[in-house]
Structure 1
Amino acid sequence: MAIPVETFFLKQGAQGTLQAQIQQMIAEGILSGRFHVGEKLPSSRRLATHLGVSRITVTLAYTELLANDYLTSRGRSGYFVSDNAPIPPSYAPMERDQETVDWSRAIARKFSGGDTLQKPADWRDYRYPFIYGQADPTLFDHANWRLCAVRALGQKDFASLTADYVDQDDPLLIEFIARHTLPRRGISARPEEILITLGAQNALWLAARVLLNRRRKAAIEDPCYYALRELLIQSRCNLVSLRVDLDGLPPDAIPDDTDVIFTTPSHQSPTTATMPVPRRHALLERAREIDAMIVEDDYEFELAFLGAPSPALKSLDRDGRVVYVGSFSKSLFPGLRLGYMVGSEPFIREARALRSLVLRHPPGHIQRTAAYFLSLGHYDAQIRRMSSVLLQRRQEIERAIAQHGLTIAGRGVYGGSSLWMQAPAGVDSEALAMALRGESVHIEPGTAFFSGADRPRNYYRLGYSSIPTSRIAPGIERIAGAIARHAG
């Protein structure tokens, strides 16, 4: 392996001749472990040009290091780090001077410190992982995904692998979404009305940036997806949180001066409430009255194993005021980070331009791999397999919850992969979750989903997408025991 010539530079104010400085630079690289035995150094001509010194100066430095057995010469191949060069005890980064930057002044805006859920890095080692939104390796079709990835690496798809789409997307993936995915939700869209995103989170950020500013007001559900609330706070718009009921967001609670409404009507996050069709029409009518836009997050619609889901809000939209957000990250695997948004062409045009300023486009190879996986039928087969298993787990977790007297605060009418739970009023779900870690049980506290200072602390979420059916009942038994101890 060759050592990049950019690795070398002369320090300003260094003592000694140029030859000595070059010798010291190379020797320090070897002694610190940055340069390894057998690695090739740049040619004397190239290093001299890079450093702005004469070639004879570099040659003399190399010759001295050769004599000291730091380097070895291999005929016309050049100079290499010698097998007999001193071996450093361990690699240690170069020492830096004390930082003098006042970061409290240098950072113009802070993005850390907001609400978030901490997933333990070793959650897969938990015996009872009631974790939400993670992939189960026993359900994922890894073999066919790998075949699709290999196919996308072929010469035929060289352009999709290497090309810069600028602000466009993979036409095969767009075609599948337009002709296969969206019609399932009753949505009709042209390619110009579809944009691929890095998951639903990226889509929500794009929508917020295009539709909101400091003078506009956004309405969100309470409780809601905590990351949505954080990104809207960062947008510095006026924000109002509206408490949901058993049917989701109440349209009559939306203030008259609202500009954008964010909602999850098919599977409210996190309560899993499903908005009835009459209320969906009422929500559209309310938006029309106050001339507001609606951003619909339709996550998990594929996991409707208890019955056909209600039509998407976008399918009922006749004014073009609904921006629809979908994602493959929940149904395939979260690390995929692949989603899409659908809206009227003027909106998508602006969202596409904004995306190109930030990340150009999602990687072409990932888009083409997903397009193959979807179009060859592997995706539908996986959804059927997941739905069958999730139905079994749903039945088992509801049976165990009833047996131990726990309270379900919300369950998806058509399916999903989680239950919204309520503990007795005196139980702090964050303390409960921490205590359960000692029993190898993972639950998700619900406090972060609520807005305001006086947040309920006794809600929690149980995901069942990654826990084997046989471990659900023993896990629920441990949760019930922990709640009883905390309530006492």
Structure 2
Amino acid sequence: MPIPVETFFLAPGAGGTLQQQIRAMIADGILAGRLRAGDKLPSSRRLADHLGVSRITVTLAYTELVAGDYLTALGRSGHFVSQTAPVRPGLRHPSSPRASAVDWTRRVVRDFSGHRIIGRPQDWRSHPYPFIYGQADPALFDHQNWRQCALQALGRRDFDALTEDYYERDDPMLIEYVLRALLPRRSIAAEPSEVLLTLGAQNALWLAAQVLLGPGRRAVTENPCYTGLRSILGQTGSDVTAVEVDEEGLPPDRVPDGADVVFVTPSHQSPTNATMPVDRRLALLERAARQDFLIVEDDYEFEMSFLKPAAPSLKSLDGEGRVIYVGSFSKSLFPGVRLGYIVAPEAFVREARALRGAVFRHPPGHVQRTVAYFLALGHYDAHVNRLHQAFRRRRVVMNEAIRDAGLTVAGRGAFGGSSFWMAAPEGVDTEDLAQTLRARGVLIEPGRQFFAPGREARNCYRLAYSSIAPGKIPEGIARIAEALAERRAGTE
């Protein structure tokens, strides 16, 4: 790899001749591991011009380094770090943390890193039985048409959309197709001024929380709930109340008095998959009107309703403008696209847009335009239909495997989704179970992380079928059942 000339500088006040300083600077970089075997150094002319010294000074320093086997001279190709260059004993990797004189526990105003998040091994694809939620299956993705849309978005015709700064605006082409192709599926009618694009649902929830909450305000969440939401709300300084869900999601009559904002996942409760029936949705809206609170509806998996037609969104039933609707392309396309959207009254969107602009302006233009083409050319609908068919087959296979293995399903998604919410026998800690299974090639998601602190159900876990081939599901479930049976035998 060529080493940028800017890497090198002469320290003020350093001892020795210029030639000695240059030699020491390069040798120290090699010994410290910053310059590695095979790296190409700048030409003697470029380094001399950069350092403000004569070329012969650099040439002589290079010659000494070649003699010491720090560098190798390859004719007209230049000088490279030698493959057999000296190595300092006990070398610390350059990326290792260095000691700091700063007491960061005192300097950091808030604890952002202490919140629990849903983790998964980086090498999860190497495990033969990955029941991992929310990851794209390459066998189901429309690579060819996505590539064509990306190339089209990178073309000369779309140069402005690719390169210009939208400031606080969004790609009008994508906004148009969100309004025309996506929102009507949820019976939502909106104007362009009522839609804001975000960096996924996580960012949308953060924007909503920052605009609506703060010290002295009260947020209500489901318990269990999406772990990222709990982290977001912890940053606002608000009072947060977690309400236990049942088989139909959040019970409206359990929303406490004094709530300012209620966060719900009515279509597919996260993580139990419970679907809130229409009468309960209407009851929640009626309670919101009576107690004067707002609702943030995270409709994160509505596209995965393949067993029955999706129930009407809360936003479509809202006659008072109390619902802030959050949608995402992460589950229907892939998580790495990092693109979602908010649909809300213009007064809220105006503030959220200004906050977004202060943080990162807008999602990348080429990503917006690529997704817009994917929608406009009909590829998105075909892709979602392909997911429906595949997930339906996988759900049948997993349902049969779970039944045959005698495992317990704690929450069933009546409309589809991409996972099962499971319950191990009482006394089983699924975090320990997950470690045992990982060594056997099986990945599950322990349930503790979804619950409010102090109210955890440690025997719950989630099994997703979006990332595992149907043929692998029965054996993976059998291994889970085997590990649970071993635990039962060990307690008898």
TM-score by length of structure 2 reads 0.90
Deviation (angstroms), 1:98: 4.5
Whether 1:341 aligns to 2:342 is: yes
Alignment partners' CA distance in 1, 2:209 and 2:236? 7
Deviation (angstroms), 1:469: 1.4
Q: 1:2 to 1:180 in 2, by over 3 A?
A: same
Q: 1:331 to 1:16 in 2, by over 3 A?
A: same
Q: Are 1:185 and 1:312, in contact at CA under 8 Å, matched by a contact in 2?
A: yes
Q: Any idea what the Cα deviations from partners look like across 1:165-211, whole Å, max 9, x if unmatched?
A: 11111111111101110011011111111111111111101110010
Whether 1:82 aligns to 2:85 is: no
Q: 1:39 to 1:6 in 2, by over 3 A?
A: closer
Alignment partners' CA distance in 2, 1:67 and 1:423? 69
Deviation (angstroms), 1:293: 1.0
Deviation (angstroms), 1:421: 1.1
Any residues of structure 2 matched to 1:229-248 within 5 Å, and which?
229-248=230-249
Any residues of structure 2 matched to 1:199-214 within 5 Å, and which?
199-214=200-215
Whether 1:61 aligns to 2:57 is: yes
Residue 139 of structure 2 corresponds to which residue in structure 1?
Answer: 138
Q: 1:341 to 1:86 in 2, by over 3 A?
A: closer
Q: 1:28 to 1:87 in 2, by over 3 A?
A: farther
Please report the RMSD computed on the Cα atoms of aligned residues, expressed in angstroms.
Answer: 2.8
Structure 1 stretch displaced more, 477-486 or 247-256: 477-486
* Identity over aligned pairs, percent: 55
Alignment partners' CA distance in 2, 1:195 and 1:210? 14
Residue 171 of structure 1 corresponds to which residue in structure 2?
Answer: 172
Any residues of structure 2 matched to 1:38-437 within 5 Å, and which?
39-40=42-43, 43=46, 46-47=49-50, 57-65=53-61, 68=64, 81-82=78-79, 88-89=85-86, 98-437=99-438
Deviation (angstroms), 1:454: 3.7
Q: Any idea what the Cα deviations from partners look like across 1:362-412, whole Å, max 9, x if unmatched?
A: 111111111111211111111111101111111111122222222211111
Q: Are 1:3 and 1:41, in contact at CA under 8 Å, matched by a contact in 2?
A: no
Structure 1 stretch displaced more, 24-33 or 65-74: 65-74
Q: Any idea what the Cα deviations from partners look like across 1:20-56, whole Å, max 9, x if unmatched?
A: 53454356557763693464356478525xxxxxx5x
Structure 1 stretch displaced more, 293-302 or 38-47: 38-47
Deviation (angstroms), 1:73: 12
Q: 1:187 to 1:24 in 2, by over 3 A?
A: same
Q: Are 1:192 and 1:345, in contact at CA under 8 Å, matched by a contact in 2?
A: yes
2:60 partner letter: E
Q: 1:333 to 1:85 in 2, by over 3 A?
A: closer
Residue 51 of structure 1 corresponds to which residue in structure 2?
Answer: none
SS at match of 1:232: helix
Residue 9 of structure 1 corresponds to which residue in structure 2?
Answer: 9
1:335 partner letter: G
Deviation (angstroms), 1:123: 1.7
Structure 1 stretch displaced more, 147-156 or 9-18: 9-18
Deviation (angstroms), 1:87: 6.0
Which runs of 5 or more structure 1 residues have no equivalent in the other structure? 49-54
Q: Are 2:27 and 2:65, in contact at CA under 8 Å, matched by a contact in 1?
A: no
Q: Are 2:3 and 2:39, in contact at CA under 8 Å, matched by a contact in 1?
A: no
SS at match of 2:54: helix
1:14 partner letter: A
Alignment partners' CA distance in 1, 2:289 and 2:99? 59
Q: Are 1:200 and 1:325, in contact at CA under 8 Å, matched by a contact in 2?
A: yes
Q: Are 2:5 and 2:47, in contact at CA under 8 Å, matched by a contact in 1?
A: no
Which runs of 5 or more structure 2 residues have no equivalent in the other structure? none
Structure 1 stretch displaced more, 138-147 or 123-132: 123-132
